Amino acid sequence: MKKFLGKKTVLLGTLILALGVAIYLNYFFAEGPTGIVDNSNTQTEQPSDDKTLGEAINVNGGADTPTAKEYFEQARGSREAAREEAVQTVKDLLNDVKATDEQKKTVTAEVIAITKAIEQESNIESIIKAKGFADCVVYIADGSCSVVVQSDSLTVQDTAKISQVVTSQADIPAQNINIVTVK
């Protein structure tokens, strides 16, 4: 029985770790390449008054380059969708009639950890915005934190402000904080 209980606990832990990794990877790969001009589709016909023969054009008309506002909305939406999926998985495990009390305690602890991370992310985002940044999104997983702020560039003082907010709100050491800018 203990061996079976251990397997389910390991499986649950692995699923939660995979969820954290998926959120983290989704953050980095969701935006995709932006601002890329398609040089393979150059104009070869007679130029109009405002175009030059052989000029490179973006065939998508810039549609694939989201604004900073769109990026942050998309990032928050992706994060919420991943969290909802995790919560549904946890609910399914809690409603499983075969689950033991120990498994239910483990799942309940995971729900509390997810809830705490959501609250910390929200608090950090609010404080960073209050410190003068236009927008930001925060991801907390596995003892590390990734912060994406809207800024052309960050000064050392800006980085220190953000790190101080994260360490005070989430007890995450500065070496586990990753700060990225979006223009």
> Using an 8 Å Cβ cutoff, are 55 and 41 in contact?
no
In a domain, 62, yes or no: no
In a domain, 44, yes or no: no
Which domain covers residue 127, as residue numbers? 2-30+68-182
In a domain, 127, yes or no: yes
Predicted TM-score of the model (pTM): 0.60
pLDDT tens profile 130-172: 999 989 999 998 889 999 999 888 899 999 999 999 999 998 9
* CA dihedral over 153, 143, 112, 84, signed as positive or negative: positive
Give how many domains the chain has, as a whole number: 1
Please provide the DSSP assignment of 62-118 as one string: TTTS--HHHHHHHHHHHHHHHHHHHHHHHHHHHH-TT--HHHHHHHHHHHHHHHHHH
In a domain, 141, yes or no: yes
Using CA atoms, how far apart are residues 114 and 110, in angstroms rounded to an integer? 6
pLDDT above 90: residue 123? yes
Q: What is the CATH number of the domain that holds 171?
A: 1.10.287.4300
In a domain, 43, yes or no: no
pLDDT tens profile 53-78: 444 444 444 445 568 888 888 988 88
In a domain, 36, yes or no: no
In a domain, 147, yes or no: yes
What letter does residue 44 receive in the DSSP assignment? -
First CA to last CA distance, the chain: 54
In a domain, 50, yes or no: no
